[in-house]
Structure 1
Amino acid sequence: MRIVVGGYARISDVGELGDGRDGKEGVIRQQEDIHALVKGRGLSLGRMYVDNDLSAFKRRVVRPDYQDLVHDLEAGAVSGIAAYNIDRITRQPRELERIIDIYETARRPMVFATTAGDYDLATEDGRFNARLYVMIANKFSADAARRVARQKKATATSGQAHQGQRAFGWKQDGTVEDWEAALIDKSQLDILNGKLLSEVHAEWAELGVRGPQTPPGKTLSYSSVRYILTNPRLCGYRAYIPVAVREQQGRVDPWEHILERTDGTPVIGEWDKVSSADQVRAVVDVLNARKPKGRGRKKGSTVTVRKLTGTSRCGDCGHGMTSGQYTEGTSSFEQWGYYYHCKKSEGGCGKMSRCGPPIEDLVDSALLARLQQAAKGSKPQKSQDDPALVKARKELAQVEADMAEARQLRESGEFPLGEFVREISRLETKRDELSASVSTMNVMGPQTGVSAAERILREWDGYTIPMQRSVISRFVEAVVIKKQGKGGNHEFRPELIEIVWK
């Protein structure tokens, strides 16, 4: 009775993009050799396993047909392997050891045949020869990978464009893809104006935006949208991420791998730019500042960030107010939906509560009227004279000085560890927020000038709640909500709302 074996064909290199090769010729030739090998040895071929364009050296590469072959060997569906050469099967000693274990524990005749000779894995000499060949193949692959990595880094350092599939925002020849570039620019400015990345992702999904590598029928993922909008390639910076780093960490922040020249300046690539360096860096800073600190919102929390969150303050105790939702089915819920209140559990007095929408409408009207007046009579200020930018820079410098002082006190033993950790955490959060504000104002320009006012007036109705909240925070120091007396008429009284402008 003939022994049933599994034939295995594999090739790694399918050629460069656009050269017409897809690797099929290589695996077809291997299959022809395997058929001849099986026939010449008097074996029976149970199944041909084929992995095209998949490495047998890289640890994180999954080869589906190889996994099937090993499973079938263990299950007894096949009783051996037939391949062109052993390095087609594996270049990893750890994978060979698994195969050896299967052969050693099998209670049936087993075959390991290649066109270069057989390996009797049931004997010490056979196992030694197989291990030796795989170790040599592993060393050869490691040396080749090191040479390729060195060549790729030299290519990157010279500023040459990336090889392979085009990136979102460019055509295959490296010129800008106008529609994608315009979408990137708009989305970046929207984020700098306060829009959430999740909202940008939802818009792209609704538009059906797909990238060059997006699977059919899918749209870009949330993480892909973030990667696209913060890619240093947009502003011409050349990054180089070693393959080993990608394999260990998966998706890596390219800003941590920007190549620099000997004078410390970034390597500029030889391709068309989509965004300015300041704009891309500002988006990175803003998104980093928005990352949740600690463990974030608890599961099941109903906390909602509304338009005046962070701006509204209690007229009695001065504490910041938060929002809450009226009970469904009540008249207050039907009429207003939500309210702002001073929570005692968060350090407030717990004595103030007012319906939300009328207050927000009042603030909107006052802000837009102020912007209309600015658009009519004011002149654009220079970025360096923008009071908000000057103030943010001073605050940032002070926070950085406080951090340096705290570290010095800790080194001298004057700052207990627990208190130091809490203080540094608070200062780092403040520093990230101020850095994002400074970066945004550097890109967007003065927020009190004519052009800014006109733009906000023109686009206000299309702004999302986070974007409107961001604009309000630029111009309003606080919205003080004063207590309304008990009894009598409970209609909304605008005179009890005080807007403190910056």
Structure 2
Amino acid sequence: MLVVGGYTRVSDTGQTGDGRDGHEGVVRQREDVYGLAQAKGCTVHRIYQDNDTSAYKRRVQRTDFEMMVRDLEHGVISGILAYNIDRIARQPRDLERLIDIYEQARRPMLFATTAGDHDLTTADGRFQARIYVTIANKFSADAARRVARQRLAEATDGEPHKGQRAFGWKNLEQVDDWEAGLIRKAREDVLLGKRVGTVHREWAELGVRGPQTPPGRTIGYSSVLYVLRNPRLCGYRAYIPQEVRERSGRVDPVEYLVERTDGTPVRGRWETILEPEEWRELVNELDARKSSGNGRKKGSTVTKRLMTGIARCALCGTGLSSGTYQRGTVSYERYGFYYYCRAADGGCGKLARSGPPVEKHVENVLLDSLRTQAHDVKSAQDDGSEAAEAKETLKQIEADKAEARRLRADDLFSLAEFAREIRRLEEKEGRTREKVATLVSAPRRVGSAAARIVREWETYTVEMKRREMTRSIEAVVIKPAGKGGAQRGAFRPDLIEIVWK
């Protein structure tokens, strides 16, 4: 009596809105398998069951199907029973794996369904099975195309993406206050220079978990980056085709924004966490970090020490490097590290200074400068008529672009005229935005931003401090202390010269 395996599967359950979970379907298939085994005079070794699992999607792993293939290959079972062949395979490559096993087997084998048997050990049987699987594959492809078209229409209409909730929301529409707070704080920190890796570490320490985080684990780095780049944060609707997801896995949603015919992004019908300008500023900052530079890891814009590259040798002008004192020495216990002019980098090699006192002095001077700026709120809020005028110009440019699109749609603009006009307006828009940024950045920094930096300075990471430091300081020039001077006395601020921007 042949020992066979029974296979049952229902795909994509719970998506039709009928309240069923697919269990009834696999139970009926199980009954059919046992009835078929009785008719064939076989013994069922076990039922291999993949509930809510597609056999068509390429990236889907069918756990029990893989186990069944291994058992078939190793001789644990000598055949497969199923309700229909499309329960077993909807991709030709899955069928070919089974065909290889049947062709090489040196024992009686069975491949049977309630719709009929397929003798995979013969050319005719294999031909027949391949036709059935090819037809099933075509049906799945047609259904996938219809579903994709429907989902694109829903996206264009601004409907929320169905399925698991997105991080930051407690359901499809309502914001989760705690997670939204994490996102807003992360945005502020990233714009101040904090690495996404640091944000991830902080979230992991808080035990943050995403909707797809496996049990017992915290949210991953790639998930944090995906959350921060998600257009949903500001209400923009994205649509990533299923075939792209299957081919590439997780992709950048910024590249798949759904746009209206006038080129504006589709706004979804859900509560937002950020304004569009805030989200775009965050994405631009993350994009700027993608390029690797000067030996730094891709995605990193920071160095290990606060003053590396900022501090310079007064003798030769070379940027100082940092090193660690030898363990066990008094200098190591007291200071830990030092800055020095490195001859291998083209420097003179004649300057070295303990790091912490230099950093503390420069930090104090910078904070004093920011405190002075923070108290000068009146100057920070000086006449803003020029900035207001520039912003009004931007609004008029948007109106002119919309009018140009309308004239083109009414066939009152030729394609060449439309292209020239849009290009002219975009160039003007770019110049105006640069002007606005120049006009508003200084007052903003002089006022409340300077006060905030002073207030939060001790909570900043090294990379965040470097970002603020380089905004105000061109270089920190360190002069030699003389022979043995660094060891003889206390720290001498007169040997430190700060060059302001």
TM-score, structure 1 normalization: 0.84
The residue number in structure 1 matching 2:457 is 460
Alignment of 1:144-223 (within 5 A): 144-223=143-222
The residue number in structure 1 matching 2:50 is 51
The residue number in structure 2 matching 1:449 is 446
- 1:216-238: per-residue Cα shift (whole Å, max 9, x none)? 22110111111111211101111
Which is further off, 443-452 or 321-330?
443-452
Pairwise CA distance, 1:209: 1.0
Specify every segment of 5 or more residues in structure 1 that has no aligned partner in the other structure, as ranges: 387-436
The residue number in structure 2 matching 1:499 is 498
The residue number in structure 1 matching 2:315 is 316
Which is further off, 75-84 or 259-268?
259-268
Pairwise CA distance, 1:107: 1.4
The residue number in structure 2 matching 1:274 is 273
CA distance 1:43–1:439, change in 2 (3 Å): farther
Measured in 2, the distance between the counterparts of 1:385 and 1:355 equals 47
The residue number in structure 1 matching 2:102 is 103
- 1:461-495: per-residue Cα shift (whole Å, max 9, x none)? 11122111111111111111112211453532110
- Select the residue among 467, 477, 483 that pairs with 1:486: 483
For the pair 1:376 / 2:375, whether they are aligned, the reply is yes
Say if 1:481 and 1:498, in contact at 8 Å, map to a contact too: yes
Letter in 1 for 2:329: T
Pairwise CA distance, 1:460: 1.2
CA distance 1:73–1:327, change in 2 (3 Å): same
Pairwise CA distance, 1:273: 1.1
Measured in 2, the distance between the counterparts of 1:292 and 1:330 equals 40
CA distance 1:373–1:359, change in 2 (3 Å): same
Pairwise CA distance, 1:358: 0.8
The residue number in structure 2 matching 1:469 is 466
Letter in 2 for 1:8: Y
Report the 3-state secondary structure (helix = DSSP H, G, I; strand = E; otherwise coil) of the residue aligned with 2:45: strand
The residue number in structure 1 matching 2:402 is none
Say if 1:286 and 1:440, in contact at 8 Å, map to a contact too: no
Letter in 2 for 1:354: R
Alignment of 1:381-420 (within 5 A): 381=381
The residue number in structure 2 matching 1:24 is 23
The residue number in structure 2 matching 1:363 is 362
Letter in 2 for 1:207: L
The residue number in structure 2 matching 1:400 is none
Letter in 2 for 1:214: T
Letter in 1 for 2:105: A
Which is further off, 444-453 or 316-325?
444-453
Pairwise CA distance, 1:141: 0.7
CA distance 1:384–1:126, change in 2 (3 Å): farther
CA distance 1:157–1:137, change in 2 (3 Å): same
- 1:391-437: per-residue Cα shift (whole Å, max 9, x none)? xxxxxxxxxxxxxxxxxxxxxxxxxxxxxxxxxxxxxxxxxxxxxx9
- 1:173-222: per-residue Cα shift (whole Å, max 9, x none)? 41111111111101110111122212211111111111222222211011
The residue number in structure 2 matching 1:227 is 226
Measured in 2, the distance between the counterparts of 1:385 and 1:320 equals 39
* Percent identical: 60
Measured in 2, the distance between the counterparts of 1:233 and 1:384 equals 34
Measured in 2, the distance between the counterparts of 1:245 and 1:344 equals 51
Pairwise CA distance, 1:33: 0.8
Pairwise CA distance, 1:442: 10
Say if 2:85 and 2:133, in contact at 8 Å, map to a contact too: yes
Specify every segment of 5 or more residues in structure 2 that has no aligned partner in the other structure, as ranges: 388-433
Pairwise CA distance, 1:23: 1.4
Measured in 1, the distance between the counterparts of 2:436 and 2:279 equals 10
For the pair 1:134 / 2:133, whether they are aligned, the reply is yes
Pairwise CA distance, 1:278: 2.3
Root-mean-square deviation (Å): 2.5
The residue number in structure 1 matching 2:391 is none
Measured in 2, the distance between the counterparts of 1:478 and 1:137 equals 69
The residue number in structure 2 matching 1:88 is 87
Measured in 1, the distance between the counterparts of 2:326 and 2:471 equals 33
For the pair 1:236 / 2:230, whether they are aligned, the reply is no
Measured in 2, the distance between the counterparts of 1:487 and 1:173 equals 68
Pairwise CA distance, 1:166: 0.7
Measured in 2, the distance between the counterparts of 1:341 and 1:292 equals 28
The residue number in structure 1 matching 2:423 is none
Letter in 2 for 1:486: K
The residue number in structure 2 matching 1:397 is none
Say if 1:282 and 1:443, in contact at 8 Å, map to a contact too: no
Say if 2:4 and 2:45, in contact at 8 Å, map to a contact too: yes
Measured in 2, the distance between the counterparts of 1:63 and 1:450 equals 59
Letter in 2 for 1:481: I
CA distance 1:17–1:135, change in 2 (3 Å): closer
Report the 3-state secondary structure (helix = DSSP H, G, I; strand = E; otherwise coil) of the residue aligned with 1:323: strand
Letter in 2 for 1:477: E
- 1:259-292: per-residue Cα shift (whole Å, max 9, x none)? 1111111111111111122222222222333346
Report the 3-state secondary structure (helix = DSSP H, G, I; strand = E; otherwise coil) of the residue aligned with 2:474: strand
CA distance 1:356–1:48, change in 2 (3 Å): same
- 1:373-401: per-residue Cα shift (whole Å, max 9, x none)? 12223333589989xxxxxxxxxxxxxxx
Report the 3-state secondary structure (helix = DSSP H, G, I; strand = E; otherwise coil) of the residue aligned with 1:448: helix
CA distance 1:455–1:350, change in 2 (3 Å): same
Measured in 2, the distance between the counterparts of 1:95 and 1:197 equals 40
Measured in 1, the distance between the counterparts of 2:447 and 2:57 equals 58
Letter in 2 for 1:86: I
Measured in 2, the distance between the counterparts of 1:442 and 1:110 equals 80
Pairwise CA distance, 1:324: 1.3
Say if 2:162 and 2:172, in contact at 8 Å, map to a contact too: no
Report the 3-state secondary structure (helix = DSSP H, G, I; strand = E; otherwise coil) of the residue aligned with 1:66: helix
Report the 3-state secondary structure (helix = DSSP H, G, I; strand = E; otherwise coil) of the residue aligned with 1:127: helix
Pairwise CA distance, 1:296: 5.2
The residue number in structure 1 matching 2:403 is none
Pairwise CA distance, 1:310: 2.8
Measured in 2, the distance between the counterparts of 1:6 and 1:144 equals 29
Letter in 2 for 1:62: Q
Pairwise CA distance, 1:162: 0.8
